[in-house]
Amino acid sequence: MRRLSGYLFATPYLILFSAFLVAPLLYGLAVSLFRWDLLTTRPPTFVAAGNYAEAVADPYFRKALAVTLEFVALATPTTVALALLLAALLESLRRQTLYRAAFFVPTMLTISVAGILWRWFFNTDFGLLNSGLARFGVSVPWLTDTRFAMPSIVLMTLWWTVGGPTVILLAGLQNIPRQFLEAASIDGAGGFTRFRTITLPLLRPVLLFVVAMNVIGAFQVFGQTFIVTRGGPELATRVLVQYIYETAFNNYRMGYSAAMSWLLFAVIALVTAVLLGLLRER
């Protein structure tokens, strides 16, 4: 009876989970097997893996995937490293509530608000950043040069998202038993040694969670590039989710966009599995 009552309590969640997550996923998988173009009057045509083969051969898909991987490679380690540094600093400060709120507030902004704000920051002519750099005779083409466009998106993302991982890592640091650090201090271990040999190993499960969630979120980046750069300049910031969106809702190729979505899911699953294998607790 206890087991049955547990399933009964979980039934509402399972129904909603199946209706709004499992069913759409399976429907998207089915759509990816058809050539379904809404601009034509022809009914959907079953092509099996044809859409997947087209995506692999599509230079725009490969370009968008490469841009996405570049964003992941830049944003994830930067965000996690800065969040860990901020968490370590916050733990040593008083009035942590005030500082936690200060770092967490940007994450409460919607992407539209953050995007419009940072478009003004990055404006070449009258933006806040170039206004400060003008005192040194420097003007940076933040969003109009392919060399600076992606780092600019990473900078905006860092400001917008670092508060969440910081709070999580701070909670992990505060749960580390003090007696381990005190014992190491008595034995003569310095601050860096204690952090490297005690804090980091005990923080590994929390750090693994933060890294995995940041990688998954970075692969799904869309709002920043769509609002701030529209994928430019020269497709330097058009990530894969934006290409999928344009394929589905600008070109109305539903089957092809669904296939690309599942390929993105496969890449995320593969990268996450590799990270879990490398960072899992030993």
Give 96's pLDDT tier (boundaries 50, 70, 90). confident
Nearest Cα residue to 204 out of 71, 80, 97: 80
Distance (Å, whole) CA 234 – CA 227: 16
Give domain status of residue 7, yes or no. no
pTM recorded for the entire structure? 0.91
Any domain includes 165: yes
Sign of CA dihedral 113, 118, 124, 125: positive
Residue 33 lies in a domain: no
Number of domains within the chain: 1
Q: Is the dihedral of CA 262, 268, 67, 149 positive or negative?
A: positive
Q: Which CATH number does the domain housing residue 141 bear?
A: 1.10.3720.10
Instruction: Classify 155 as helix, strand or coil.
Output: helix
Is 195 within the bounds of a domain?
yes
10, part of any domain: no
Range of the domain at 55: 50-279
Alpha carbon distance 252, 228 (integer Å): 24
pLDDT, residue 166, reads 94
Residue 42 lies in a domain: no
Could you read off the pLDDT of 18-63 as tens digits, one per residue?
Answer: 999 999 999 999 999 999 998 888 889 999 999 999 999 999 999 9
pLDDT digits (tens, 9 = 90+) for 195-208: 888 888 889 889 99
